[in-house]
């Protein structure tokens, strides 16, 4: 099942549709480059956030998730003057 990538956070309503598309594309490039499922990465990251012990594979998925989140954030906020922005990558089931 393909994941639906979205953005959450206090400022998630600010990006334009084009900026959101750029962020989603940037995240998808990271996931594709590493041949991983975004849902698996999100699940591993959720375990990390709950301070649950991770397997080696889950730890690698967390690193990939963080790279995707960083690339997505940079793509969404490209050209913005304000960098103290609360926008995070998230995934959900397809609608």
- How sure is the predictor about 84, in pLDDT bands with cuts at 50, 70 and 90? confident
**Could you give the percent of the chain with pLDDT greater than 90?**
83
Is residue 20 assigned to a domain? yes
Into how many domains does the chain fold? 1
Buried b (16+ CB within 10 A) or exposed e, 35-55: ebebbbbbbbbebbeeeeeee
Is residue 91 assigned to a domain? no
Is residue 7 assigned to a domain? no
Whether pTM exceeds 0.75: yes
**28-63 pLDDT, tens per residue?**
999 999 999 999 999 999 999 999 999 999 999 999
CB 91 within 8 A of CB 8: no
Print the domain residue range for 64.
Answer: 15-79
- How sure is the predictor about 81, in pLDDT bands with cuts at 50, 70 and 90? confident
Which tokens belong to 10?
């206090």
């Amino acid at each position: 099942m393909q994941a639906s990538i979205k953005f959450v956070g206090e400022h998630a309503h600010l990006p334009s549709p084009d900026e959101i598309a750029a962020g989603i594309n940037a995240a998808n490039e990271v996931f594709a480059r590493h041949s991983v499922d975004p849902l698996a990465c999100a699940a591993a990251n959720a375990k990390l956030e709950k301070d649950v012990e991770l397997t080696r594979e889950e730890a690698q998925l967390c690193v990939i998730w963080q790279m995707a989140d960083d690339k997505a954030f940079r793509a969404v906020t490209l050209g913005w003057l304000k960098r103290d922005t609360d926008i995070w990558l998230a995934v959900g089931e397809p609608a």
